[in-house]
Structure 1
Amino acid sequence: MAAGTLANVVVCAPVSSADQTSGIDQQVCAPSGGTYFHLQQQQAYVLAPESAGYIDSIAQPFDYSVAAGFWGLAFTTIISLWLVSHGAGAVVNFLRRA
């Protein structure tokens, strides 16, 4: 399932002077603080509304505290398994020599 579609959109691109804009440009893209804009067509990937929740959920910043918790749990598990297997090996060696 696609998260969106490729579409042509119209954007307001800044220009260096008012001479480069037309009356329609100034009606649609109002000048702001001495900066004038020109209508420009551009291709863009437009997200579908039903996929916005999924995109927002995966675009969250990386949480280092959660990652540290997972790393600590994994490290503790590995060390615990190593200690248990080392202890079992010591018991087996003791029984073998006895």
Structure 2
Amino acid sequence: MTKKTAPTYAAVSTSSGGIFDVDALNREIASLDREVTHPGFWDDNEAAQKILQKRSSLQRTLDLWKNLHQSCEDVEAMVELIQEEEDDALVSEIEASLKRLR
């Protein structure tokens, strides 16, 4: 892998083309958290459970994005190391990481 062919993942943004709008996810989770603290939240147990399930689903999506984003940052750091040090030992590790990200 050369500097010319090394992939960059800087394009992975907080919106990822709208699939993972991190800011919107955080806002919605915060809104649901505020809703849970309202008096009478548990008066309608079924509605409360639906809200908690929605919050849990949103949190899982956010966690997925955070993990993917961290993995991309890790791969970028490895690519930079290879470019700076020309360390052939890292090439196979980066290739394995790239395969996992695909």
TM range (shorter): 0.3 to 0.5
**TM-score between the two structures when normalised by the length of structure 1:** 0.37
Kindly name which structure, 1 or 2, has the bigger radius of gyration based on alpha carbons: 1
Larger strand percent: 1
